[in-house]
Amino acid sequence: MPTMKVESIKKNILNKIGQPSSDLVAREVHTKEKYMEILYINTISDESIIHDKLLTPFFEIEDQQDFLTFLQSHPKILPFKDEQKAIEDLLKGVVIIFYQNFIFTFDSKANLAKVTSGTVVETTVQGPQSGFTESLHTNVGLVRERYPVPELTIESLSIGSISKTDVMLLYDSRFADPDTVKKMIDFLKTVHIQMFQSGEQLLDSITKHNRSFFPTMLVTERPDRSAVNLSTGKLIILVNGSPFAVIAPSVMKDFMSSMEDIYQTYWVGRFLQLLRFVGFNISVVLPGMYVALTAYNPEVFRVQLALSIAGSRTAVPYPAFVEVLLMLFMMELLTEASIRLPKAIGPTATTVGGLILGQAATEAGLVSNIMVIIVSFVAITNFVVPINTFSFTIRVLKYLIWALGTIFGLVGVVLGFLMINAYMVKLDSFGVPYLTLLQSKPKN
Amino acid sequence: MNRYFLYLVLINMFINAIIFVPSILIKYSFDGAVASVLLSIPYGVLMTFLYSKAITKYPEKGLPEILANTTKWMKILHIWFIQLAFFTAGLITLLGFLDIISRFVNPEEPRLILLVMYLAAIFLVIGMPTQRVMYFAEIVLFFSIPFLGFIIFKAFSSKDLSWDSIWEVTTHVFDWPSLKAFAASSYVFSGYINLIIFNRVIKGKLKIWNYVFVFIVGILNLFTTFLIPIGYHGADGAKEYLFPWISTADSLRLVYSPVERVIFLFIMLYMGVTLISVSVHWHVALELVKSTFNEKAKEKKKWLVLMAIAICSAIMVQQINTLQLNQLTEYWMILRLAVEPIYVLSFYFWAGRKIS
Amino acid sequence: MIFSRKRHWFILILSASLILNGCGYKDIDKRFFVLAIGIDPAKHSTKRYLVSLKMAITRASREKPTDTIIVSAEADSMGEAVRTIKTKVERELDFSHAKVIILVDKVAKSGGNSGIIYWFTRRRDIQEVAWVAIGKPSAVRILHIMPKSERLPTNSLLLALGEDGSETPYIIPVYLFELKKRLIERGLDPLLPIIEVEGKNLFQINSAGVGNKSKIKLILSQEETKMVNYMLNMESKSAQWVERGKVKYIIDTQKVKTDYKIITPKGKKPYILMKVSLKGRLEETSRRITNGELSKYEETAEKQLSNEMKAVLIKLQKANLDPLGFGLRYRARHLNKDDWEKWKKIYPTLDFKVKAKVQISDTGLIE
């Protein structure tokens, strides 16, 4: 029987890890002669190693003393040093073995890098390049690997009346707001979806609650983004079978930040962020502004500019607002098409559409030169936004401003822009105001 | 310094810098406007001081919460009267600015349509919780202040500004102050009165620096409002303009900017400032009205109030022309001047007695 | 709220405004941008004015993107003329880019033209920062000038009058609002640059007209214009001719600053003390001048500059004109209510004292 000391160490370790973490495995193994307890986290430990290197010998070596010798002599098994070290090791994929009066640690780290794939959607120039995989198990492991703290809490749920998909909710119990966690769990429990396949569906079902224009949850494929967000008190939802994690509460600032901001020097990062905010505003406002300015208030331009716009529009047979709509529509089709096409053909479609069609349309007098510039500008600025779900929102919003600009002129554009702002002010994501500009800091 | 408090003051100063105050002051520029302006500065700061001191004795509470335990008839009388004042304040601003837009930006669009657009935006804002209205105000000011500051700097530094004309007006400092000019120039300081509801977002006491800021910005603002148009259009000529500040903005030229004419930049910025100014007033009015309803009917009655606001402004926008509006505003300002000190002083003593 | 629970509100608003829509929307290519306005006296009828509008025709072609069209009409008032011109063109007239207003000197000289100026300032679409000038021999001729250097119509005029083009002390650009101010401000009289036709397709701006509240009364010569420009502190880059005995030399000025004071000593004749400081370097001389001798030449230049300036001041005073705003300065420095009446008596008897200070830094790159 283990002594009191060992027993108390075991209790302490369990207490420290004590959060309801569904991937923590504490198991007792018996044979007739021997008794052993092992403790590990199955998402970051390789269970086949444990089986081959630990359990098989355990059952094959009958004698108690012999097994102890085996443990002591095994190169990957080290004797216990202290509790703190044991917990750190545990969080890195080490098995803690309680055998008789001895405690050992057994290195069984899973090599997760082998199974991950590169990022596809949120690519960065620098920094980690690996993305989530389709296995929930591995994904939790990936987060664990980057966020090895005992306070990381993992709750397991299942969503979907038919699919019964496993879902895991991860958060750091030190930083996450308990109210938010409660709200999130309640929300997840009330979601009614038959077939739950991917985290993006949650986005949709939360939008149906609020009819919100803006996503209030962030979908990411990057484990590093998830880990960083955990440290700011956010919740991560991982869904089995989907290589995307959902981060909530997410506010505008999160949608506008790329992981690269952290990997760049301070001023470069700031500059890039400013660039994105400017791009966002231009993308939303520009089409409507063009209509309002050319059709209602050409006096805003300098005379030289007004004349060249008027010149380029002379051959165009329909009003400016139709022209804008036509070109925007064409651009949307192009964007849509190039997403759907296989990667090999994608660039061709863009070239054909963008260059040749634009050029031809201008020559034929269907649209003005300046319009082509504006539409390409809108398209480019749209994709400056790093998170896709958010840039889709912009794609829709610009039509609202376009409509207001067409009907009300300059007043419509300015007030429309302000209304979008007011709407964002009104919105919140699980209790966090949407326009919180400061990065939420870990709360103490 | 408490920035929310300063926003309230600033919004009121900004909006009054263009719509009614300059034309009233310039009208009386040889008949006591200078003296009125000088008198209004200590008066305005004093009123600001008294009222904010009194109401910040109830931290994070608006008037409805403060009055929650008093008798009901007094509460209703009190709140209904004040809310009407706030509603008309917002309405006058809105009508004045719609007039500017329909003259300078969209001359051919009926004002009713512009009103519809504005009401849509305003209703979106005033329905939000007080804290969020303040956030929104902060965002709009964040966008506008740098540009407005730049325009005002441009106006000051331009060589077209005739300092002699300005000095000529200031030599009339010893004329007996005029009541209308005093009413107009003291209205510039009235932003503090929005604390009636917005005290909900003010945490703790207001430090002395806030009042120093109000004092300094008030002087700068009145100077800009009153004397810059005179510098551009002459001591005798500025009176001829219906909207002196808008014409002044049109007299500025940004040589290197893609938008050469300052007036459009200026009006676009003011679209936002007007939106928050009216929203702040009407948010106060709406919250005060809401506090008189019982819990159950609140949501439904709120929509009734909004409908009433919409109908009322639509009628006003159709019926009242610029000159009538200017007349009306002058009387409204005098009435406000009569009521404001009574209200502020009585509240100050009431609050002082209550607390002790 | 509008987006969420009460979506029908939004739809209601949109549909309501769609029904009411149709006002104000006018595409940019359906407008004729009036770039310059010229006003001549009518020749062929009994009407008072011949109003000409210079409008830009825009084309999609890249070689010659814009062309101009000048349409004129005779009428008794601006409003009438514009309505007549509207019947002659197919697109809507847009005055929002009318940046140059040219009055012919006959119109400017005949009294009572201020009504026309008021037409411009009363309309919301004409910029306050349009330039006003006098055209010689006629406004239409000026409008017809199209120098080869300009790609856009009237651009050369805009550059000449604006700060972004040529910098010369002989042009005193006057904005519309400035002219209006000068028309009404007591103690500050109107001043307008004069544009003359030069050769076939060029213009020349080197003089200015000074008027009282109703008409132009005095035409300043080139050098007088420069002096006025100095006194208005408008442009520092210029050249000052000086003659010392047989030696003629030119100072390329880098900084010219003037400041004046109206001094009314008790019992004595009031006078204006005008201080001028001019800094520059020698640019051209008829004889070799060494750096050591410069102070002598400075002295001569000072004397000549103050004489020239005084002559201009006296000329203006004789005509009882005050484009420099001495009267306004007097009003601004005196608290009395009747200061304007007093000034009207003082001005004709006023003395001028000019103190010039010339600094010639060197003789340029070579001694």
H helices within C5-154, ranges in order? Answer: 7-20, 78-86, 105-109, 114-122, 139-144
All residues of chain C having their beta carbon less than 8 Å from the beta carbon of residue B173 are: 335
pLDDT by residue (tens digit) across B295-325?
Answer: 777 777 888 888 988 999 999 988 888 889 9
H helices within C271-325, ranges in order? Answer: 294-318
Please state, in angstroms and rounded to a whole number, the distance separating the CA atoms of residues C51 and C103: 10
User: Which of the residue ranges A357-361, B248-252, C111-115 would you say has the lowest mean pLDDT?
Assistant: C111-115
**A410 in reach of chain C (CB within 8 A):** no
Contact C28 A295 (CB under 8 A): yes
> Which residues, 6+ apart, have CB-to-CB distance to C83 below 8 Å?
none
Instruction: List the single residue in B117, B171, B250 with the smallest CB-CB distance to C332.
Output: B171
CA terminus-to-terminus distance, chain C:
79
**Residue A29 is encoded by which pair of tokens?**
């193994």
Q: Which of A5, A42, A43 is nearest to A26 (CA)?
A: A42
All residues of chain A having their beta carbon less than 8 Å from the beta carbon of residue C99 are: 303
Q: What are the strands of the beta sheet with A152-159, ordered from one edge?
A: A152-159, A165-172, A235-239, A245-248, A218-220
Structural domains of chain B, ranges and CATH numbers in brackets: 3-355 (1.20.1740.10)
Contact B272 A418 (CB under 8 A): yes
Q: Which DSSP string corresponds to B72-83?
A: HHHHHHHHHHHH
Q: How confident is the model at residue C2 (pLDDT cuts 50, 70, 90)?
A: very low
pLDDT by residue (tens digit) across A13-26?
Answer: 777 776 667 778 88
Instruction: List the single residue in C10, C185, C333 with the smallest CB-CB distance to B165.
Output: C185
CA closest to B30 among chain C residues? C337
Contact A425 B135 (CB under 8 A): yes
Q: Which DSSP string corresponds to A330-382?
A: HHHHHHHHHHHS-TTTHHHHHHIIIIIIHHHHHHTTSS-HHHHHHHHHHHHHH
Residue A159 identity (one-letter amino acid) = I
Q: How confident is the model at residue C12 (pLDDT cuts 50, 70, 90)?
A: low
Please state, in angstroms and rounded to a whole number, the distance separating the CA atoms of residues A424 and A252: 9
Look at residue B18 in the predicted model and tell me its pLDDT.
86
Tell me how many degrees the CA angle C84-C85-C88 measures, rounded to the nearest 5. Answer: 105
A 166-205 residues inside an 8 A Cβ radius of C: none
Look at residue B356 in the predicted model and tell me its pLDDT.
63
Judge whether B320 and B125 are in contact, CB under 8 Å. no
Q: Which of A87, A117, A119 is nearest to A105 (CA)?
A: A87
User: Which of the residue ranges A196-200, B67-71, C130-134 would you say has the lowest mean pLDDT?
Assistant: B67-71
Q: Are strands A35-41 and A24-30 parallel, antiparallel or unpaired?
A: antiparallel
Q: Which of A190, A191, A211, A208 is nearest to A199 (CA)?
A: A191
Q: Which of A38, A179, A192 is nearest to A103 (CA)?
A: A38
**Residue B348 is encoded by which pair of tokens?**
């100050």
Burial letters A415-435, b for 16+ CB under 10 A, else e: bbbbbbbbbbbbbbbbebbbb
All residues of chain A having their beta carbon less than 8 Å from the beta carbon of residue C155 are: 304
pLDDT above 80 for B96:
yes
Alpha-carbon distances, residue C206 vs A14, C140, C216, C227, C278 (angstroms): 94, 19, 16, 12, 21
Contact A409 B125 (CB under 8 A): no
Interface test with A, best of B135, B261, B273 (most A CBs within 10 A): B135
Judge whether A16 and A153 are in contact, CB under 8 Å. no
pLDDT by residue (tens digit) across C32-54?
Answer: 889 999 988 888 888 888 899 99
Look at residue A439 in the predicted model and tell me its pLDDT.
47
Look at residue A441 in the predicted model and tell me its pLDDT.
45
CA A192, distance to chain mean position in Å, is: 23
All residues of chain A having their beta carbon less than 8 Å from the beta carbon of residue B109 are: 408-409
Please state, in angstroms and rounded to a whole number, the distance separating the CA atoms of residues B152 and B13: 14
Q: How confident is the model at residue B57 (pLDDT cuts 50, 70, 90)?
A: confident
DSSP 8-state symbol, A52: I
Averaged pLDDT for residues A255-259: 83
Q: Which of B277, B310, B94 is nearest to B194 (CA)?
A: B277
Contact A302 B259 (CB under 8 A): yes
User: Which of the residue ranges A425-439, C213-227, C333-347 would you say has the lowest mean pLDDT?
Assistant: A425-439
CA atoms lying within 13 Å on the CB side of residue A349 = 17
Q: Which DSSP string corresponds to A369-401?
A: HHHHHHHHHHHHHHTTSSSHHHHHHHHHHHHHH
**Residue B209 is encoded by which pair of tokens?**
């620096």
Judge whether B193 and B187 are in contact, CB under 8 Å. no
Contact A313 C18 (CB under 8 A): no
- This prediction's pTM: 0.88
Q: How confident is the model at residue A444 (pLDDT cuts 50, 70, 90)?
A: very low
pLDDT by residue (tens digit) across C280-292?
Answer: 888 888 888 777 7
Q: Which of A181, A137, A188 is nearest to A160 (CA)?
A: A188
Look at residue B216 in the predicted model and tell me its pLDDT.
93
* Residue recorded with tokens 């203006």: C316
Look at residue B215 in the predicted model and tell me its pLDDT.
93
Judge whether A204 and A191 are in contact, CB under 8 Å. no
Look at residue C16 in the predicted model and tell me its pLDDT.
55
- φ, ψ dihedrals at B106, nearest 5°: -120, 70
The number of beta carbons lying within 10 Å of the beta carbon of residue C345 is 8
pLDDT above 60 for B88:
yes
Averaged pLDDT for residues B56-71: 80
Alpha-carbon distances, residue B247 vs B102, B183, B304, C17, C332 (angstroms): 15, 23, 39, 30, 23
All residues of chain B having their beta carbon less than 8 Å from the beta carbon of residue C229 are: none
pLDDT above 90 for A73:
no
CA terminus-to-terminus distance, chain A:
42
Which of A49-53, A350-354, B284-288 reaches the highest mean pLDDT?
Answer: B284-288
3-state secondary structure of C231: helix
Containing B216, the helix (H) or strand (E) segment is helix B208-233
Beta bridge partners of C102: C38, C133
Q: What are the strands of the beta sheet with C351-360, ordered from one edge?
A: C238-244, C247-263, C271-285, C351-360
pLDDT by residue (tens digit) across C148-194?
Answer: 877 778 888 888 888 677 778 888 889 999 988 888 888 888 889 99
Burial of B150: CB neighbours in 10 Å, binned 0-12, 13-18, 19+: middle
pLDDT above 50 for C272:
yes
A169 to chain B, closest Cα gap in Å:
30
pLDDT by residue (tens digit) across C227-260?
Answer: 898 888 887 788 888 888 888 888 888 888 999 9
Round the average pLDDT of chain B to a whole number and report it. Answer: 88
Tell me how many degrees the CA angle C41-C185-C348 measures, rounded to the nearest 5. Answer: 90
pLDDT by residue (tens digit) across B125-138?
Answer: 998 889 889 989 99
Q: How confident is the model at residue B8 (pLDDT cuts 50, 70, 90)?
A: very high
All residues of chain B having their beta carbon less than 8 Å from the beta carbon of residue C177 are: 232-233, 247, 250-251
Contact A421 B120 (CB under 8 A): no
Burial of B72: CB neighbours in 10 Å, binned 0-12, 13-18, 19+: exposed
> Which residues, 6+ apart, have CB-to-CB distance to C315 below 8 Å?
C218, C224
CA closest to C158 among chain A residues? A303
Look at residue C7 in the predicted model and tell me its pLDDT.
56
Beta bridge partners of C260: C274
Burial letters B6-42, b for 16+ CB under 10 A, else e: bbbbbbbbbbbbbbbbbbbbbbbbbbbbbbbbbbbbe
- φ, ψ dihedrals at C318, nearest 5°: -60, -40
3-state secondary structure of A34: coil
B109 to chain A, closest Cα gap in Å:
8
Beta bridge partners of A41: A24
The number of beta carbons lying within 10 Å of the beta carbon of residue A11 is 11
Q: Which of B52, B140, C366 is nearest to A414 (CA)?
A: B140
**Residue C135 is encoded by which pair of tokens?**
């055209």
Chains with 3+ CB–CB pairs under 8 A to C are A, B
Interface test with C, best of B164, B286, B306 (most C CBs within 10 A): B164
Look at residue C10 in the predicted model and tell me its pLDDT.
60
